[in-house]
Amino acid sequence: MQQIDAIPALTRLSPDEALFRDSVYEFADREIRPHVREMDEHAKIPPQLIDSLFNLGVMGIEIPETYGGAGASFFHSVLAVESLSRVDPSIGVLVDVQNTLVINAFNRWANDAQKGAFLPKLAASMVGAYALSESGSGSDAFAMTTRATERGDGFVLNGRKLWITNGSEAGVFIVFATISPEAGYRGVTAFIVERSFDGFTVGKKEDKLGIRASSTCELLFEDCRVPRANVLGGMGKGYKVAIETLNEGRIGIGAQMVGLAQGALDAAIHYTKERKQFGKAIADFQGVQFQIARAATEIEAARLMVYNAARLRDSGEPFLKEAAMGKLFSSEVAERVSSLAVNLYGGYGFVKDYPVEKFFRDAKIGQIYEGTSNLQLQTIAKQILGD
């Protein structure tokens, strides 16, 4: 396994962090790898594998121990997502959304009653989902039409959400809706919606190019009644909940892309040492060696950028620019490295019997979800040049 301890202090792993990273990867290699192709073909994660993730402790990493979680850091979440994605990015994003979006939002914005009601479940057995996107509000996240209307002692939600990760598995959803369209983003409010609520339905599951085992679903709200006690963060504060959580979630996607790129390179290195042409392994050809060296260098650069952003977040320092840079660069590296892996496999790289074509398909989403590459560039430019 690659060692990455000899790096600057800000991104160096402590012995405990290295042990945690390695143990998660060993679990993924042992328990997940045998099922990767089947999960991809059937577009489904087996329930028993999700149970194993809870038992491993990676579904409640930042949940305080008083609520049954691991009480660890955001950086530990990043390490877990990277290690899992090295084997299967679909599992990586399941764990990423659970930790960096859902649990992160509960930790920061939930009141004591909400934390007591949901954090123990999220630590033990309940998958969470984060419902922001709509057909007309992607990068323009607050151009949403899902409406929340006050009625009695609660709210009624009407509308439709699209592309919601973990939609099939989730028992609780953080849903964003507007209580006052004329107020623009100031009218957006976050709600805690349980799967059992009347008027709420998980709709179509998307048939995707990549990360196929990860469920991506539409959500339908037809007079869905939500108690007032399930407002998360306060009325009209949904934009703050969304922005601050997504800024951190981008670091998680960066970790997913780093893990994906490393997994693709691992496979390519193994293959080039075994594949012989012209009487010797293709790894002995300088042209192949240089391509592998460049790929490894780019992965390490992406890893350090993602780790740096996570360390800044944990230390309470500004990290918006660093998160955007890490997400932008790591997604580009993942696409380049997975494409190189397909090339190095030659014809075998184009068939499903070998792992690299899946890494190649999985990589594309990194430049799209949780903020497109163009949106990351815009964020970086604003941070450098000013608004």
Residues acting as catalytic residues: 370
Cα→Cα distances 294→130, 265, 289, 290, 298, Å: 36, 11, 9, 6, 6
Instruction: Return the number of other C-beta atoms located less than 10 Å from residue 296's C-beta.
Output: 16
Do residues 18 and 82 make contact, with C-beta atoms less than 8 angstroms apart? Answer: no
Do residues 214 and 358 make contact, with C-beta atoms less than 8 angstroms apart? Answer: no
Nearest-Å Rg of the Cα atoms of the chain is: 21
The torsion of the CA quartet 236, 310, 212, 259, rounded to 10 degrees, works out to 170
Residue 151 forms beta bridges with which residues?
A: 154
Cα torsion angle, 265, 271, 277, 281, sign = positive
Q: What is the DSSP letter of 365?
A: G
What residue type is assigned to position 211 of the chain? I
- Give the whole-angstrom CA distance, residue 352 versus residue 358: 7
Tokens of 228: 């007032």
- Give the whole-angstrom CA distance, residue 26 versus residue 34: 13
- Give the whole-angstrom CA distance, residue 208 versus residue 362: 10
Pairing of strands 170-178, 127-131: parallel
- Give the whole-angstrom CA distance, residue 246 versus residue 29: 29
Do residues 196 and 174 make contact, with C-beta atoms less than 8 angstroms apart? Answer: no
Do residues 13 and 4 make contact, with C-beta atoms less than 8 angstroms apart? Answer: yes
Tokens of 340: 């190189």
Do residues 98 and 142 make contact, with C-beta atoms less than 8 angstroms apart? Answer: no
Do residues 62 and 123 make contact, with C-beta atoms less than 8 angstroms apart? Answer: no
Tokens of 243: 């922005």
